[in-house]
Amino acid sequence: MPPEKLAFVGGTGPEGLGLAVRFAAAGHAIVIGSRSLERAQEAAAKVRVKVPQAQVEGTVNQEAVELGEIVVVTVPFAGHRDTLAALAPVIGAKMVIDVVSPLVFEGGQIKALLVPEGSAAQQAQALLPGASVVAAFHHLDASSLMRIEKPLDADVVVCGDHPQAKLRTMALAEQIAGVRALDGGPLANSRYLEEFTAVLLSLNRNYKAYTALRIVGIARGGRPG
Amino acid sequence: MPPEKLAFVGGTGPEGLGLAVRFAAAGHAIVIGSRSLERAQEAAAKVRVKVPQAQVEGTVNQEAVELGEIVVVTVPFAGHRDTLAALAPVIGAKMVIDVVSPLVFEGGQIKALLVPEGSAAQQAQALLPGASVVAAFHHLDASSLMRIEKPLDADVVVCGDHPQAKLRTMALAEQIAGVRALDGGPLANSRYLEEFTAVLLSLNRNYKAYTALRIVGIARGGRPG
């Protein structure tokens, strides 16, 4: 696929940074967005440390979204609604990849919150009616993403109601070494993906591990029938 | 582990039958329960075809539960609440493995219903306050379970709040050839497991496949830390 310009909203956290590193390594241009210009520029510098040839800059969320062709949402869920509502006019009809899982730590456990719209990604679509929202990348461990020298061993299940945006996201995912992308159906399925992140984080804690997901039973290169 | 006597509530459907076949092959005694004595006996005969040495009988749900040491719930979700409410006095303080995912087919899509108690398994625990309820086996494909000559290639994530019941369930799961059991935390995590069944069924349809789940990143033989 041709190089894209990817804008990360909330790209200074571990998941956004990890994905930014992998996509920079794949030759895409990266704009790290943050509420703070300084933190965005610091995060861009961290990407450059991992990927010296990276085409990467850091700026405030609004400018990042203006610059990007594809918007990747990696804010904490607590800021998901307000951040996207504020950016809606700038995002307009762009393609949006929502990576957010609505999780909270409560009573020593990781729990998934129920979102009125159904899921974080469905909330994004409701706030951004002109955009093509896709849900993906929830299950890629942030610290594994940062270890750029090591291929992952993971499937990325992608959900969405916009076929072209879904295909573009799947192509992007497969540019991360060791990742296979799978078509997980409509955006209504995104709740199940987002919530399953809580299972992987529970397993990480129980087993002191960095888990990922593989779907068995689909031949490599299998395409939706 | 020593042989157990497993009673299947709603054991005539594909998932119950598939698990019964695998556990019969592992040397456990099986009682297939159904609302219909005739259908229960037919299902028991099907188990015997797959596992000639099986110790298996079929009877009505209530008698099955009386006979079993461990109760495995494999009813369709539509009958989950009423069936367990009626059987509660007989189930008493037994161990219960709930395999049910609250799914519906709606508008050509597979959807997970929200359950007031949180999940099907949490509903079971609420209806059976004296029982030790564990959630497991949601992601094992029924037709793959029936092909007894072929080992599976799957992880079974087990959730529950009763440590002994969880360990017994994990030991049972690992008696199915090719299965690894993982401790997925408290019963509150069961919703995420149940709902993920909708993702696997969507993938099955999209890719004309029989999918299963593997968790990458936990060494074989890894034990909760």
pLDDT digits (tens, 9 = 90+) for B173-218: 999 999 999 999 999 999 999 999 999 999 999 999 999 999 999 9
Q: Is B217 on the interface with A (CB under 8 A)?
A: yes
Q: Which among A192, A211, A224 has CB closest to B206?
A: A224
Those residues whose C-beta lies under 8 Å from the C-beta of residue A82, and which sit 6 or more positions away, are none
Q: Are A124 and A162 in contact (CB under 8 A)?
A: no
DSSP 8-state symbol, A37: H
Overall average pLDDT of the A55-60 stretch: 98
User: Do A225 and B208 count as a contact with CB atoms less than 8 A apart?
Assistant: yes
Whole-angstrom distance, CA of residue B225 vs CA of residue B218: 11
* Residues of chain A neighbouring B194 (CB-CB closer than 8 A): none
User: What token pair was written down for A25?
Assistant: 């390594």
User: What token pair was written down for A66?
Assistant: 């203006």
DSSP 8-state symbol, A176: S
Give the 3-state secondary structure of residue B54.
coil
Place of tokens 């069961």: B190
Instruction: Tell me the β-bridge partners of A163.
Output: none
Q: Are A110 and A136 in contact (CB under 8 A)?
A: no
Q: Which among B185, B216, B217 has CB closest to A206?
A: B185
Residue of A143, A203, A208, A210 to mutate for B, most B C-beta atoms under 10 A: A203
Place of tokens 């008698």: B63
Is the per-residue pLDDT at A69 higher than 60? yes
User: Do A223 and B207 count as a contact with CB atoms less than 8 A apart?
Assistant: yes
Q: Are A192 and B113 in contact (CB under 8 A)?
A: no
What count of other Cβ atoms lies within 10 Å of the Cβ of residue A26?
17
Whole-angstrom distance, CA of residue A39 vs CA of residue A48: 14
As a 3-state breakdown, chain B gives helix, strand, coil percent values, each rounded to 5, of 40, 25, 35
Q: Report residue B101's pLDDT band, with 50, 70 and 90 as the boundaries.
A: very high
Residue of B207, B208, B211, B223 to mutate for A, most A C-beta atoms under 10 A: B207
Whole-angstrom distance, CA of residue A183 vs CA of residue B73: 31
* Alpha carbon distances (Å) from A124 to A71, A75, A82: 12, 12, 10
Largest distance between two CA atoms of chain B:
47
Overall average pLDDT of the A24-41 stretch: 97
Give the whole-number percent of chain B exceeding pLDDT 90: 94
Q: Render pLDDT for A88-138 as a digit per residue (tens, 0 to 9).
A: 999 999 999 999 999 999 888 999 999 999 999 999 999 999 999 999 999
Q: Render pLDDT for B34-84 as a digit per residue (tens, 0 to 9).
A: 999 999 999 999 999 999 999 999 999 999 999 999 999 999 999 999 999
Q: Render pLDDT for B122-137 as a digit per residue (tens, 0 to 9).
A: 999 999 999 999 999 9
Is the per-residue pLDDT at A198 higher than 70? yes
Query: For residue A221, what pLDDT is reported?
Result: 62
pTM: 0.96
Nearest to A50, CA basis, from A171, A143, A141, A139? A143
DSSP 8-state symbol, A113: P
Q: Report residue B220's pLDDT band, with 50, 70 and 90 as the boundaries.
A: low
Overall average pLDDT of the A29-43 stretch: 98
User: Do B223 and A207 count as a contact with CB atoms less than 8 A apart?
Assistant: yes
Q: Is A199 on the interface with B (CB under 8 A)?
A: yes
The number of C-alpha atoms within 13 Å of A206 and in the hemisphere containing its C-beta is 24
Q: Render pLDDT for A167-188 as a digit per residue (tens, 0 to 9).
A: 999 999 999 999 999 999 999 9
Is the per-residue pLDDT at A220 higher than 80? no
User: Do A207 and B182 count as a contact with CB atoms less than 8 A apart?
Assistant: yes
Is the per-residue pLDDT at A224 higher than 70? no
Q: CA of A201 to nearest chain B CA: how many angstroms apart?
A: 9
Query: For residue A200, what pLDDT is reported?
Result: 98
Query: For residue B93, what pLDDT is reported?
Result: 98
Q: Is A198 on the interface with B (CB under 8 A)?
A: yes
Q: Which among B153, B157, B224 has CB closest to A199?
A: B157
